[in-house]
Each structure stands twice: as structure tokens, then as C-alpha cells.
Amino acid sequence: MSQSRLDGRAVELSRCHPIASWLCAMLHCFGSYILADLLLGEPLIDYFSNNSSVLLASAVWYLIFFCPLDLFYKCVCFLPVKLIFVAMKEVVRVRKIAVGIHHAHHHYHHGWLLQTSLPAGSGVALMSNVEQLLRGVWKPETNELLHMSFPTKASLYGAVLFTLQQTRWLPVSKATLIFIFTMFLVSCKVFLTATHSHGSPFDVLESYVCPVLFGATLGADHHHDNHGGHSGAQAGSPGAAHSPLHPKLKEELSEGSRKKKAKKTD
């Protein structure tokens, strides 16, 4: 929730439209449960019956935006405190993934696709476009499926691992898998937060796997677009005049120059 506070428009929204701001905060807190209920055909507001959780989330929302002198927000953003909350968040994320896979396996015993796609750990990111609509903003290019962040990738890979464990294809106990995956996520996320890095430890693995499976590296289209835009920007530069022209274009230019010379002679 403190991440949304970084946006200056979020502060303005909390002052002008507190109900919309509160709803956005609830999506940040319970987005995973809402999306899981949607996939499992259960009531979307079922988790809101947990009064203690809703009251706690509401209290945090109020302190983040309306605490005098922004004391609460400054304390939460203090790096040592922030690292503690980041580690706790990853512990909860792994627990959500494990519980979500178990819940999906109970409802759909042979539904592997549903189990692995159950976004128990990153429902907030996947519902970011809905949250934007509540704020009166529409940015479809920020779709999480188009630009997957580290928590979303970790939730997806974790869902695959826990599905394999649940179906006995991964010969590891559930407690062991939870411990190993929790330590991995906590270590990675704490390191990324402490170094203010936006990278992902999965990038190295994906750079080798994606060319084999999909014939291209991640971000190839983005690189192609940037290359095209860069070339277009240089089209008006002096060096662009020496670029090779299409033969047909050369013929048209020479024909046009001949017509101009004929007019001058006439």
C-alpha cells in the first residue's frame, strides 16, 4: 500500500475522493483473494467478511494518507523497517501460493492449468488495470501480463512447483518446498529492495530458455521497436543521406530529375 503512496496522484485522490482511494487500497490488500474467488466461482466479496482484516487494512490506509506530518509513511519507508516488511510480505506470498494451490486441487482435482494459473501470490499486480479504472486512469500498456514483474514471475513459477508437489510429480515434502521457496523469495526481494534494483533473478535463466522454446529472447519486440525508432530519428541526420536507397526509389528520383531538366531547357 505504501508503494501506491509514492504516486503524487494517489495523495490527491485520497483528499478529493477518499472512497475511491479506500477501494484501491482494498484491492491492493485483497486482490489475490478476489481473483482466486473469481477463478473458483466463489463470491468475490467473500474475504471481506473477515472483519479484523478489513479493519486492519483500513487503519493502515488511513495512517498512510492522513497521519499528521506523514509520520507513519516515513517510518514505513525507512529502509531497515521497509526491508522487514518486504521479507514478511514474501513469507505471506508463499503461504498464499501454497494455500491457493491446495484449494484449487481440492475443487479441480485434475485441473493442472487452473492450479498453475491461480494467481494467489500476485493478484494485486494482475488487477492493476481495475485499480487504475477506480482512480480514473486507463493505461492498457501497463498490463502485468505484458510486462511481468519479479513477484508475478515468482508466483507463477511457485504455482508450478507447488502443483507438481501436490500431484506427487515433485518428490519433496510440502514443508520443505515452502521453506526453500520462502528463503529464495525473501533473499531476492530484500536484495532487490536494498539495492533499489528493478531487475529479476529469472532474467538470466529466461535469456537461455526463451530462445530455445520461443525462438526469441524476452524484450525482442521492444528492442526492435527501439531500433526502428532510433533509425527514424536519424533519418534527418547528415549520415542518413548516405544510406542505401531502394532501386525503385532511385529510378523514380532520377526520372523526376530528368523531368525538371527538360522543363528548364524548354
Radius of gyration of the chain (CA): 26
C-alpha cell at 190: 530484500
Whether 39 and 114 have beta carbons less than 8 Å apart is answered as yes
Place of cell 516488511: 85
Which of 89, 93, 97 has the alpha carbon at shortest distance from 165? Answer: 97
Evaluate if pTM is beyond 0.75: no
Q: What is the pLDDT of residues 79-122, one digit of tens each?
A: 999 999 999 999 999 998 888 888 888 877 777 776 666 556 67
Whether 10 and 4 have beta carbons less than 8 Å apart is answered as yes
Q: What is the pLDDT of residues 136-173, one digit of tens each?
A: 777 777 787 788 888 888 888 888 899 899 888 889 99
CA 131/CA 124 separation, integer angstroms: 9
